[in-house]
Amino acid sequence: MSASLMERPDVQVEGIARRFGATAVFEDVWFSVGRGEFVCLVGHSGCGKTTILNILAGLDAPDDGALIVGGREVSGPSLDRAVIFQSHALMPWMTAAQNVAFALSCRNPHWNRRMCEDAAREALGRVGLSHAADRKPAQLSGGMKQRVGIARALAIQPKILLMDEPFSALDALTRGALQEEVSRLVTEAGQTGFMITHDVDEAILLADRILLMSNGPGARIAEVVVNTLPRPRTRASLHHMPGYHALRDHVLDFLITRSREFDARHPPAGWSARAVPELRPAA
């Protein structure tokens, strides 16, 4: 990632915490996402990853700290921040094209119905669903529903794309194809991407940086791993790239061993929540 990206961050997360009752799921979380950067957040279940994404989306609010997007503190949802959820979140009474067209009409209130429908069908074509544009969600497979959700989010051309494991319900071949397509589309549009994933290879394929989160309660960002593998990357060639195995081993080592050893109350010497070390695993 170039230094210029971090000079103009799209997202600044400053010491946020979220508590449910007396339990702090995470606390003192600091990180930033540069303009046009793609960041993946990786950690075990229960560390608050989805809650962090919901805060970024404006669907939840932190108990402490602040979230600044585009130079403004977040106070609610915005069409400049599109979310692709784990579940498809489609309106069941609308066809696939109508679901996408509805989002487009909200984004472009001056567009007429035909303009929205044409743009919706074009968006569905990008994810291989031209043939299913007139089907309702009940007539679609789980994977197809999720692809409609992806098409809807990309169609409104948000500045920031937030993704909560959007490919987890898809078969391996479709998942790989859509990962590469989303990566290409986000890059071409100059969008900023933030994704939650449990798939280490997915993070390596998509991310410029990988945020590694310690276990909850009291979870924090323990490490930031810089992905130095050159772009473009493809699922088929990823494991042949120099440095891939060192990067993958480093992330897996954290998830298997060090995420449990990291104690946020007594972090390692030199560790700072405000300046989490950036690591570049050796090739």
Q: Residues 17-40, buried b or exposed e (16+ Cβ, 10 A)?
A: bbeeeeebbbbbbbbbbbbbbbbb
pLDDT for the residue numbered 4: 44
pLDDT in tens, 177-210: 888 888 887 888 788 999 999 899 999 999 999 9
Rounded Cα distance, 278 and 280, in Å: 7
Give yes or no for residue 228 having a pLDDT over 80: yes
pLDDT in tens, 245-264: 999 999 999 888 876 666 65
pLDDT in tens, 126-166: 888 999 999 999 999 878 888 898 889 888 888 899 999 88
Task: Between 85 and 269, name the one with better pLDDT.
Answer: 85
Give yes or no for residue 9 having a pLDDT over 80: no
Q: Residues 227-264, buried b or exposed e (16+ Cβ, 10 A)?
A: bbbeeebebeebeebebbeebbebbeebbeeebeebeb
Domains defined for the chain, CATH in brackets: 3-74+159-167+193-279 (3.40.50.300), 81-157 (no CATH)
**Mean pLDDT computed over every residue of the chain:** 87
| Half-sphere exposure in the Cβ direction for 76 (13 Å, CA) | 0
Element (H, E) at 213: strand 209-213
pLDDT for the residue numbered 118: 94
Task: Between 228 and 1, name the one with better pLDDT.
Answer: 228
- Which of 241, 223, 222, 221 shows the shortest CA–CA distance to 231? 241
pLDDT for the residue numbered 241: 93
Average pLDDT estimate for 31-48 = 92
- Which of 218, 239, 229, 84 shows the shortest CA–CA distance to 147? 84
pLDDT in tens, 65-118: 999 988 888 888 888 899 988 777 899 999 999 999 999 999 999 999 999 999
Give yes or no for residue 5 having a pLDDT over 50: no
What is 68-101 written as a DSSP string?
A: EETTEE--S--TTEEEE-SS----TTS-HHHHHH
Give yes or no for residue 277 having a pLDDT over 80: no
